[in-house]
Every structure is written in C-alpha cells, then in structure tokens.
C-alpha cells in the first residue's frame, strides 16, 4: 500500500512537471565546452549539461528545447518565463539566489586562469601583484567577471577587465595577444587549451564553486525537476555523463 501511494505520488509529481509545459525550454550559453557547445561534426548542441537536461526531461516525460542565448541574459529569461530553466554551468552564488532558485548542485568546478604558452603570468599571485598590469578576459556576468572585477577594485590593481559576450571571442583575443589571460571555469579552460595550440592553464585555481540549475522563484516545475535530477545523481547517471566528457 505504502509503495502504491509512493508510486502515485511520483506519477503525480511527474505529471505536474509536464502539465506545466509539454516542452521544457532551457536557456543556455552554448559556448562552454564540455558543458554546452556545438558539435563540430553534427552542428548539434551537446555536452554535460545538455545530456543531464535531456535525462531529466525524459524522466518527466517532456520534450526539451535549448535556446542558445547570451550568458548574462539567461537569469532574466528564467525570471520572465521566457525559458523554463537556466542550465549553463551556473555557479551557485548568494547574489543569484536573490533572483532565482537553484537546484541541488550536480557538480563542482574551479575558476582558473588560461594563458598563452609564452607568458609572464606563472601563477595566480601574479594577478595580485600591484606592479603588474594585464588585460584580463572574461565572459560578461560570469563569476570569473565578478571575482576579478571586485579583486581589481578591492586591491587597487592596474589590470583592465575585458568583457566578452561569448567565450569564443575571448579565446580569439587571447590567441591574437589582445588580452594577456582569461578567467574561466577549469574544465572549459582545459577544452580550450586542447582545441587551440599555444594556450595553457595555470595549475593554481582561482576559486572553487558548485554548478546548479536555476528556476524562477516559486516555479511550479522546481519540485518535480529537482526530484528527477536528484534521482539521476543518486543512481550514478550524472556521474557517468560527466565521465563521458571529462577524462579522470
């Protein structure tokens, strides 16, 4: 009996998830390998976040549509209901929590520093040396942007922060010497360094963080979506998706 009730509850929750929208729309900035990016061969949007989102949608019996948008417009799109959720390697921050609700975190990451192979920057400390003056590239509105901007201000540093809409443009700027380094999430930095000869990753991390999915406050989708995500974390699906993209 207890089992039947539990099953009914699960079904009810799933139906509620999908009653909201036959199709779930996900807002994402698809410039962020290995989490969300365009597959060179198929042209399709793929990656860790994408596969996790499809797995959740499947559990909820919904279709999934991904809307590729600028990273710093995703939270507004989530809040206004233009998309049902935002999944884009989103770091959980207290500031963002004022505007959106975050799911259970599904992985961790570090902010790291990507540099050209020939560089005078050898450690994160070099960024904090008040004698140094660098052009530091970030994606607008990311934690990389927020951290370095406030560190520059708080420590009276001479660097200029160059803000890009898409990471691809920051990587081009780094390759052509327009900027001296980039602050970006570690696995993404690894992907960019692998895809572009002449880029390297400093081996000290800049900040530790957790990734989660964001929803509008009081979103009716939240409970069912998060329950499905938690199941996928608990049964190892999320880890196996991560392992598929990131070598141990």
Catalog residues that contact ligand ARG under the rule CB under 6 A: 29, 31-32, 36, 71, 88-91, 139, 142-143, 167, 185
CB-based contact 116:174 (threshold 8 Å): yes
Phi, psi of 231 (to 5 degrees): -65, -40
CB of 151 to ligand ARG, least distance (A): 15
For residues 17 and 47, which CB has a smaller minimum distance to ligand ARG in the complex? 47
For residues 88 and 226, which CB has a smaller minimum distance to ligand ARG in the complex? 88
CB of 106 to ligand ARG, least distance (A): 13
CB of 239 to ligand ARG, least distance (A): 19
For residues 161 and 227, which CB has a smaller minimum distance to ligand ARG in the complex? 161
For residues 191 and 219, which CB has a smaller minimum distance to ligand ARG in the complex? 191
Q: Residue 147 to residues 2, 183, 237: CA-CA distances in angstroms?
A: 49, 9, 32
CB-based contact 205:110 (threshold 8 Å): yes
CB of 50 to ligand ARG, least distance (A): 11
- What CA–CA distance (Å, rounded) separates 143 from 118? 26
CB of 33 to ligand ARG, least distance (A): 9
For residues 55 and 75, which CB has a smaller minimum distance to ligand ARG in the complex? 75
């Amino acid at each position: 009996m207890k089992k039947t009730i539990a099953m009914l509850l699960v079904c009810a929750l799933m139906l509620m998830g999908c009653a909201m929208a036959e199709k779930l729309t996900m807002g994402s900035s698809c410039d962020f390998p290995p989490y969300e990016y365009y597959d060179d061969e198929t042209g399709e949007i793929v990656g860790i976040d994408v596969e996790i989102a499809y797995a959740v949608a499947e559990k909820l019996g919904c279709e999934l549509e991904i809307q590729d948008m600028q990273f710093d417009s995703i939270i507004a799109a989530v809040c206004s209901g233009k998309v049902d959720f935002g999944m884009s390697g989103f770091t959980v921050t207290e500031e963002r929590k004022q505007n959106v609700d975050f799911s259970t975190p599904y992985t961790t990451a570090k902010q790291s520093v990507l540099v050209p192979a020939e560089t005078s920057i050898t450690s994160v400390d070099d960024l904090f040396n008040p004698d140094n003056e660098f052009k530091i590239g970030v994606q607008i509105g990311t934690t990389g942007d927020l951290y370095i901007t406030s560190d520059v201000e708080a420590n009276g540093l001479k660097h200029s922060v160059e803000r890009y809409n898409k990471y691809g443009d920051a990587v081009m700027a780094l390759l052509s010497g327009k900027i001296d380094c980039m602050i970006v999430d570690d696995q993404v930095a690894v992907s960019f360094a692998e895809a572009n000869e002449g880029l390297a990753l400093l081996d000290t991390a800049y900040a530790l963080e957790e990734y989660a999915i964001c929803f509008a406050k009081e979103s009716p989708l939240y409970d069912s979506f998060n329950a499905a995500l938690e199941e996928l974390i608990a049964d190892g699906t999320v880890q196996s998706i991560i392992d598929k993209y990131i070598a141990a």
